[in-house]
Amino acid sequence: MKKKSNFAAKDILEVFGLALIFLGIIYALFTFVFSNDTVSGPSMQPNFESNDRVITVRHSKIKRGEIVVLKAPDEPNALYIKRVIGMPGDSIRFQNDQLYINGRKYQETYLNKGKKMYSMGSLYTENFTLQSKHLGKRVPRNCYFVMGDHRNVSKDSRIFGYVKKSSIVGVVKLRYWPLNKITWY
């Protein structure tokens, strides 16, 4: 009977050891590869609501139209969730609710639902150019121009300027909460 006790203790230690290794791997992944964040505020409505939970991938290649989590340039220890509008080297202009990138019309279909809900008969995005926002003519190297989807209330690059690549925590790849809105991006 003693042998069975030794086997049970050995099995328990083995399971405990494997659990520690598994937890260590999860910790390392969420420290260096992924970020788990909670949406707060109305700037990305209706596409994201307060308390939505998202997973971002750190060090991911950033593309136009993707949603990113970034270190707030104007609020220490805060994070913002925004959409990438301008890439390095781009010129940006909004005219009559239409986005122009490098002089060409760019469709923002992700805004359709919000325009219906929030525009209330006026422009959803006010007219501007990078120059009118005192940001020069083009998005600088290693920087991005970001905006929230709820343009009337979003504090974004129109207010705080360009976002350095080093300030981007990661690209949103999954909304996992609430469960009825699970979405891969």
Pairing of strands 98-101, 128-129: unpaired
35, β-bridge pairs: 56
The token pair at 11 is 């099995």
Show the tokens assigned to 97.
């609710």
Is 173 in the active site? no
Tallying the residues shown for the chain, one arrives at 185
User: What is residue 155's three-state secondary structure?
Assistant: coil
Inter-CA distances, 164 with 39, 49, 144, Å: 21, 25, 6
Tokens of 185: 């991006």
Residues 41, 44, 50, 52: is their CA dihedral positive or negative? negative
Strand ranges in 87-135 using DSSP code E only, listed in sequence order: 92-95, 98-101, 104-106, 128-129
Please say if 71 is a catalytic residue.
no
Catalytic residue among 82, 91, 133, 157: 82
Q: Which residue among 35, 40, 43, 91 is the active-site one?
A: 43
Active site residues: 43, 82
